Amino acid sequence: MFIFVILLISCIFCNSQNQSNITDWPQWRGPGRDGIWIENISIDSLKADNIKKIWSAPVGPGYSGPTVADKRVFVMDYIKETVPSERVHCFDALTGRSLWTYAYPCEYTSVGYPVGPRASVLINEKKAYSFGTMGHLFCFDAETGDVLWQHNTLEEYNSRIPVWGLASSPIIEKNMIIVQVGGQPGACIMAFDKYTGIEIWRAMEDEASYSAPIIIDQAGKKVLIFWTKEHLAGLDPGTGNIHWKIPFDQSRGAINIATPVYSKPYLFISSFWDGSMLVSLDQNKLEAEKVWYRVGESENHTDALHCCISTPVIKEEHIYGIDSYGEFRCLDLFTGDRVWESFDMVPYGRWANAHLIQQGERVWAFNELGDLIMGELTPQGFKDYGRVSIIKPVNMSPHPRNGVCWAHPAFAGKFIYVRNDEELICLKLQ
């Protein structure tokens, strides 16, 4: 009997240890929506021996990055067989076993790069929220896949679909889910009751961008930051009232995909065509002012930083990011002057991308060729601590680079979840 009890306790301990290896990555860019991976990774260099593939599960095409919560992993895709449909998948995060899939008819109309959904599934209080390319917003029971409520924002709120489709990942604040739908009148940004789907407020006449929102603290209050097609704006998340907004010139075409980056008291944004802007937020009152704005003469002759998909990093007094054709740059935070540039993250190419994740003093990058890179950002240059190819890009129409991986991975505990247009895989750092 004594031996049985010891074995039982040991088994429970081992199971709890195994389960505790997975922490949540429940929304776009992680728990804080800030691209920070909170995990103690002790390796000094990244080699093939440091990382092991645990499982693989088939999925269809899409740019929707996986998210992880309560030992489940969620992702969206798009299929064109018989009836064009978007799908929301839920898998067991430890085994890859399919737990549920929900599909709904969805035909992409006048959407560039019509590969699949863009936004990440958001998990909150055992509910999963998805937002599709044509404006389908769903709330699911995360355990069963049952639909709790839904909206078709194109039909209900006259969403204006951008060239590359609706892509802004929703955000949760208290009892609301807030999403950039580009609706009208006055419904660029909408807040719904996260339990019932009932509209709570709407704000701004702007058209939608692809950029995801964040929530920050300013002057002792929470402020909701949205970068629409026309403005960078700070709103009251409870009411939608606008505290401040600053115009951002999109005269050459709105390609503002990167998420705004906040490093108190500064907000930084960067777009492919129209360059970068640094904004200073007053910490005593709800006001903001432009510090600098810089733009080059073209996509080939850029100034400061012209980001496409990748969200930059602010570290101390410098900005690090991927320019329009893949050049990795370090800027002086206060002026936008270029400190150094290299092609350490991704080779030269239009729309070139690498997602940057901070983990302590290290930075991890997942580039569009399927490489995982570990290093350190310094004003003297990028310190490369190794790289491993972890997934193969699939050659899907419209064929950039004969195949790219543009979806943001999820980093949960020592597990990494990444997808291409054929499979979702789970890897574990050793």
Three-class secondary structure assignment of 370-391: CEEEEEEEECCEEEEEEEEECC
Q: Identify the pLDDT of residue 174.
A: 97
Question: What is the percent of the chain where pLDDT is above 90?
Answer: 90
Residues contacting residue 139 through CB under 8 Å, at least 6 positions apart:
127, 128, 129, 147, 148, 149, 150, 177, 194, 197
Residue 301 lies in a domain: no
Q: Identify the pLDDT of residue 328.
A: 98
Residue 236 lies in a domain: no
Q: Identify the pLDDT of residue 249.
A: 77
Closest CA to 191 of 182, 183, 200: 200
Residues contacting residue 96 through CB under 8 Å, at least 6 positions apart:
54, 55, 56, 57, 424, 426
Residue 172 lies in a domain: yes
Q: Identify the pLDDT of residue 15.
A: 38
Quote the tokens at residue 175.
Answer: 């009892």
Closest CA to 417 of 104, 138, 59: 59
Residue 115 sits in which domain range?
63-208
**In this model, does residue 1 exceed pLDDT 50?**
no
Are 171 and 150 in contact, with CB atoms under 8 Å apart? no
Q: How confident is the model at residue 22 (pLDDT cuts 50, 70, 90)?
A: low
Q: How confident is the model at residue 186 (pLDDT cuts 50, 70, 90)?
A: very high
Q: Prior bond to 185 cis, omega within 30?
A: yes
Q: Identify the pLDDT of residue 6.
A: 38
One domain, residues 132 and 174: yes
Quote the tokens at residue 138.
Answer: 């769903």
Are 294 and 276 in contact, with CB atoms under 8 Å apart? yes
Q: Identify the pLDDT of residue 5.
A: 39
Over the chain, what is the mean pLDDT? 94
One domain, residues 43 and 121: no
Q: What is the pLDDT of residues 255-273, one digit of tens each?
A: 999 999 999 999 999 999 9
One domain, residues 32 and 100: no
For the purposes of burial, counting CB atoms within 10 Å of the CB of 109, is it exposed (0-12), middle (13-18) or buried (19 or more)?
exposed
One domain, residues 11 and 91: no
Residue 132 lies in a domain: yes
Q: Cα–chain-centroid distance for residue 237?
A: 20
Domain end marker among 208, 236, 255: 208
Residue 182 lies in a domain: yes
Q: Identify the pLDDT of residue 91.
A: 98
Whole-number Å distance between alpha carbons of 135 and 268:
27
**In this model, does residue 184 exceed pLDDT 90?**
yes
Domain end marker among 208, 224, 243: 208
C-alpha gyration radius of the chain: 21
One domain, residues 31 and 105: no
Residue 178 lies in a domain: yes
Q: How many domains does the chain have?
A: 2
**In this model, does residue 12 exceed pLDDT 70?**
no
Judged by average pLDDT, the poorest of 245-254, 377-386, 408-417 is 245-254
Residues contacting residue 51 through CB under 8 Å, at least 6 positions apart:
372, 388, 390, 416, 427, 428, 429, 430
**In this model, does residue 353 exceed pLDDT 70?**
yes
One domain, residues 29 and 106: no
Q: Identify the pLDDT of residue 310.
A: 97
Q: Identify the pLDDT of residue 430.
A: 87
One domain, residues 15 and 73: no
Q: Identify the pLDDT of residue 252.
A: 78
Residues contacting residue 59 through CB under 8 Å, at least 6 positions apart:
75, 77, 89, 419, 421, 422, 423, 424
Residue 259 lies in a domain: no
Judged by average pLDDT, the poorest of 18-22, 31-35, 118-122, 314-318 is 18-22
Whole-number Å distance between alpha carbons of 272 and 163:
14
What is the Cβ-side half-sphere exposure of residue 153, based on CA atoms within 13 angstroms?
33
For the purposes of burial, counting CB atoms within 10 Å of the CB of 149, is it exposed (0-12), middle (13-18) or buried (19 or more)?
middle
Whole-number Å distance between alpha carbons of 156 and 427:
41
Ranges assigned E (strand) in 309-353: 313-315, 318-322, 328-332, 338-342
Q: What is the pLDDT of residues 39-89, one digit of tens each?
A: 998 899 999 999 999 999 999 999 999 999 999 999 999 999 889 999 999
Whole-number Å distance between alpha carbons of 307 and 268:
11
Domain end marker among 139, 173, 208: 208
Are 223 and 287 in contact, with CB atoms under 8 Å apart? no
Q: How confident is the model at residue 277 (pLDDT cuts 50, 70, 90)?
A: very high
With 0.85 as the threshold, say if the pTM is over it.
yes
Q: How confident is the model at residue 396 (pLDDT cuts 50, 70, 90)?
A: confident
Question: What is the percent of the chain where pLDDT is above 70?
Answer: 95
Q: Identify the pLDDT of residue 321.
A: 98
Q: What is the pLDDT of residues 203-235, one digit of tens each?
A: 999 999 999 999 999 999 999 999 999 999 999
**What is the signed CA dihedral for 120, 122, 126, 128, rounded to 10 degrees?**
-60
One domain, residues 131 and 39: no
| CATH assignment of the domain containing 164 | 2.40.128.630
Between the two ends of the chain, the Cα-to-Cα distance in Å is: 36
Whole-number Å distance between alpha carbons of 367 and 405:
7
Residue 157 lies in a domain: yes
